[in-house]
């Protein structure tokens, strides 16, 4: 008897075009749920998973030292990283700024009564920052802040 060895990434790559017999073997080996497509927000949820997904090292994603105390350097790092995440989360959707019927979402920080609160709002006829920071849905806006709050705090320059 011979044993067939295949890693998870190769099985995921081959599964969509595999014959029914091979799919049955894959599902018996890895489980059916393994082959259910996962949302991008489940695949990219922190800096490590972002680097892995982009096939780059952590050194390549930060312009300045990751642990810098300088607020401006942290802001520049956030400005470099957030659009990369937005592009992945938007999964190829290019937002049309000429279409006021298409909402564009992003987290924002509001200050009422001296304390800050993060909310998610859509813009359709105004741009409040670089277009690379807008997402195609409220759910993605919520996920990007939930998964990367430190980057947004650095972007807003509100973190000590």
pLDDT of residue 129: 79
pLDDT of residue 147: 96
Asked whether the beta carbons of 81 and 151 are under 8 A apart, the reply is: yes
78-135 residue pLDDT tens: 999 999 999 999 999 999 988 988 999 999 888 776 667 788 777 777 777 788 899 9
Domain boundaries, the chain: 7-37, 40-156
> Which pTM was predicted?
0.76
pLDDT of residue 114: 65
Residue 113 to residues 69, 107, 117, 149, 154, Cα–Cα distance (Å): 28, 19, 10, 22, 22
37-77 residue pLDDT tens: 789 998 999 999 999 999 999 999 999 999 999 999 999 99
Strand partners, 116: 111
pLDDT of residue 158: 74
Provide the CB-side half-sphere exposure for 10 (13 A, CA). 4
59's enclosing H/E stretch is: helix 58-61
């Amino acid at each position: 008897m011979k044993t067939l060895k295949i890693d998870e990434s190769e099985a995921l790559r081959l599964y969509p075009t595999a014959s029914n017999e091979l799919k049955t073997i894959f599902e018996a080996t890895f489980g059916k749920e393994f082959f259910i497509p996962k949302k991008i927000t489940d695949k990219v949820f922190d800096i490590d998973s972002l680097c892995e997904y982009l096939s780059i090292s952590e050194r390549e994603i930060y312009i300045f030292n990751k642990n810098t105390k300088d607020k401006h350097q942290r802001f520049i790092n956030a400005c470099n990283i957030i659009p990369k995440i937005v592009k992945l989360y938007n999964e190829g959707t290019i937002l049309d700024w000429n279409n006021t019927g298409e909402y564009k979402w992003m987290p924002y920080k509001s200050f009422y009564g001296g304390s800050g609160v993060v909310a998610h709002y859509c813009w359709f006829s105004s741009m409040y920052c670089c277009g690379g920071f807008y997402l195609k849905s409220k759910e993605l806006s919520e996920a990007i802040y939930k998964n990367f709050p430190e980057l947004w705090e650095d972007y807003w320059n509100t973190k000590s």
